[in-house]
A and B are shown apart, each in its own frame.
Chain A
Amino acid sequence: MNGSIAASRARWTLATVFTVFLLINVVVLTLAFLAQLRNDPSKLPPHLGEEVSVGVRLLVIAIGAVFSWFLARMLFKHLVVQDVSPGDSVGPAYSLLSYLLLVLAAYSFLGFGTWLWLPGLFLIVLVWSLISLWSLVGWLPMIVALVLAALTAFFSWVIMT
Chain B
Amino acid sequence: MATRLKRVVVIIAVALNLMALTASAADTLVLIDRSGSMASNFQSGLAKDLATRMLKAAETTGKADLAVFDVEWHVIPGLDSPEFATFGKDTYLDKTLKQFKDKYDRIWLLTDNVQDDPASADRYDMSSFYSTLQAKEIRTIYVFPLRQSPGNAGLMIYAISTGEDTRKLEQQVNTFQRPGQEFKFEKLAMKPLNENVIQVTIIDVEINDAKILHEQKSLRIREGDPLKIETRVRIEPKYPHLYFESSPVTPSRAGTPFKCLVADKPESDINPNQVQTGTSQEYRVTVDFGRVHLKKGPGCIWEAAFGHASESADIETPITVTIPRNNFKLSKTFLADYVASSESEAKVTGKIFGLEKLPGYMAPETTKVPIRIPYRVVVQYPSWPAIVLSIGGVVLLVLVWLVIKLLSGISFAPHFTAETEDRKPLPTLVRDKQVFVSNQLLGSIQSNEFTPAPGVRLDPDLRVADIGDSPLICVLRDGQRIRLRAESGQKPRQKAPTRSTPQKRSAPPTKRTTR
Interface residues, chain A, with chain B CB atoms under 8 Å away: 50-59, 62, 77, 80-81, 83, 85-86, 112
Contacts and interface: CB of A to CB of B under 8 A. Distances in A.
Interface string B371-397: 000000000010101110110000000
Nearest to B306: A55
Given A52-B309, A53-B386, A112-B309, A77 B304 contact: no
Contacts of A53: 304-309, 381, 386
A54, A56, A81, most chain B CB atoms within 10 A:
A54
Would you call the interface of chain A mostly helix, strand, loop, or mixed? helix
A55 B390 contact: yes
Nearest to B389: A55
B305 A55 contact: yes
A47 to B, nearest CB: 12
Contacts of A86: 449, 451, 463-464
Contacts of B387: 54, 58
13 contacts: A51-B310, A52-B309, A53-B305, A53-B306, A53-B308, A53-B381, A54-B309, A54-B383, A55-B385, A55-B389, A77-B466, A85-B463, A86-B464
A51 B308 contact: yes
Interface of B: 304-310, 381, 383, 385-387, 389-390, 449, 451, 462-464, 466
Given A57-B386, A80-B463, 9 more contacts: A52-B309, A53-B304, A53-B307, A54-B305, A54-B386, A55-B305, A55-B306, A62-B390, A83-B463
A94 to B, nearest CB: 12
A152 B52 CA distance: 79
A57 B383 CA distance: 11
Given A54-B381, A54-B386, A86-B451, A81 B462 contact: yes
A59 B389 CA distance: 11
A51 B310 CA distance: 6
Contacts of A57: 386
Contacts of A59: 390
Contacts of A52: 308-309
Contact of A51 (B305, B306, B309, B463): B309
A62 B394 CA distance: 11
Closest 10 CB pairs of A and B: A54-B386, A55-B306, A55-B386, A55-B305, A54-B383, A53-B306, A53-B309, A58-B390, A80-B463, A51-B309
Nearest to A56: B306
Contacts of B307: 53
A114 to B, nearest CB: 12
A77 B468 CA distance: 13
A69 to B, nearest CB: 11
Contacts of B310: 50-51
Nearest to A48: B309
A62 B391 CA distance: 12
Contacts of B383: 54
Contacts of A81: 462
Nearest to A62: B390
A83 B463 CA distance: 8
A57 B390 CA distance: 11
Contacts of A54: 304-305, 309, 381, 383, 385-387
Contacts of B304: 53-54
A55 B383 CA distance: 8
A107 B33 CA distance: 80
Contacts of B381: 53-54
Contacts of B385: 54-55
B386 A58 contact: yes
Given A54-B387, A55-B386, A80 B464 contact: yes
Contacts of B466: 77
A131 B386 CA distance: 35
A59 B305 CA distance: 11
Contacts of B386: 53-55, 57-58
A80 B381 CA distance: 47
A77 B463 CA distance: 10
Contacts of A80: 462-464
A136 B389 CA distance: 42
A52 B307 CA distance: 8
B307 to A, nearest CB: 6
Contacts of A85: 463
A86 B446 CA distance: 11
A84 B307 CA distance: 47
A105 to B, nearest CB: 15
A81 B386 CA distance: 41
